Amino acid sequence: MSDQIHLAIGASPWQPSPDSELVEEYSHYDMPTAGVISQSGCLFLFECLEGIVLDVSIWIYAPILEREEEALSHLSGNPLSEAMDEIWRSRDVAVVLVSADAIQSGGTVTRDTIARWGIRRAALKEIQSLLDRERLMAGTLKEAAG
């Protein structure tokens, strides 16, 4: 099992790289919003955490084992949500900023950070940090060019 999902800037969040394939869809809102993808022989749970109906959204990804995917595939409703929440709490999670259904940027939150803040707050903090770094880099590049 790979601990890291590979993301292609501009890819859709439910197919985050050319070699990704949707295996299981748990939720749908004009697009898959939660489910499992396969990438390079590894499985990843994904979910749109915030902004399903907005132009900008936050998505999360975590590696899972085949037995976990099998167990999830037999669940629905609250049991499925609870099982997914347990996965989000039990490992490092990739956090991705999506705009107009295209991946823009991403980072990682550790399970320790998730334990301290919860997945939503930890993900939002990571996205804010990504945006701050991008603004700083843009300012630095502008200064260098000016």
Which residue range(s) make up the domain with 106? 20-145
Pick from 94, 109, 127, 71: nearest CA to 16: 94
Look at residue 9 and tell me if it is in a domain. Answer: no
Taking only the tens place, the pLDDT of each residue in 73-83 is 999 999 999 99
Of residues 50, 47, 46, 40, the one with CA closest to residue 64: 46
Number of compact structural domains in the chain: 1
Q: Does 14 map to a domain?
A: no
pLDDT exceeds cutoff 60 at 1: no
The answer to whether residue 74 is domain-embedded is yes
Whether 15 maps to a domain, the answer reads no
Global confidence as pTM: 0.90
Residue 13 lies in a domain: no
Query: What type of residue is 103?
Result: I
Instruction: Confirm whether 8 is domain-assigned.
Output: no
Q: For residue range 48-65, list pLDDT tens digits in order.
A: 999 988 899 999 999 999
C-alpha angle with apex 52: 65 to 127, nearest 5 degrees? 75
CA gyration radius for the chain?
16
Residue 2: its pLDDT value, please?
Answer: 60
Q: Which amino acid is at 10?
A: G
